[in-house]
Amino acid sequence: EAGVVQSPRYKIIEKKQPVAFWCNPISGHNTLYWYRQNLGQGPELLIRYENEEAVDDSQLPKDRFSAERLKGVDSTLKIQPAELGDSAVYLCASSLVRTGEGYEQYFGPGTRLTVT
């Protein structure tokens, strides 16, 4: 079974430029997450989707970040314009179902963004 797919794996852009990341979750997983991970830190949740609905975007900097999951499958995360502080690894994860007992997330390889 294919895992979570992300592209690109690496991206270098100049500040003020736009950038987009793409994620395809594991087939059948209805919940999709975007995280940002800075060096030496744990992943920080940016947005969580359950099917097409963004159920938690409280940590998403909405002035410059946007995300969509139009058909409830793959998703894109966009930054416009990028700032130097956006340099990080952007991780996508998916899980099968969200229950009160917990849910195991499976991560993609991430996109390493460098803003110069």
Partner 1 sequence: RKEVEQDPGPFNVPEGATVAFNCTYSNSASQSFFWYRQDCRKEPKLLMSVYSSGNEDGRFTAQLNRASQYISLLIRDSKLSDSATYLCVVNTLLDMRFGAGTRLTVKP
Interface residues with partner 1 (CB under 8 A) are: 35, 40-45, 56, 91, 100-110
The CB-of-96 to partner 1 minimum distance in angstroms stands at 13
**Of 71 and 104, which CB lies nearer to partner 1 in the complex structure?**
104
In the complex with partner 1, which residue's Cβ is closer, 30 or 81?
A: 30
d(CA 115, CA 31): 29
CA distance 24 to 5: 5
Beta carbon nearer to partner 1, 9 or 16: 9
Q: Judged by CB, which is closer to partner 1: 81, or 107? A: 107
For the chain, give me the number of helices (H) and strands (E)?
0, 11
Terminal-residue alpha carbon distance, the chain? 37
Give the shortest CB-112-to-partner 1 separation in angstroms. Answer: 8
Q: Are 29 and 96 in contact (CB under 8 A)?
A: yes
CB of 91 to partner 1, least distance (A): 6
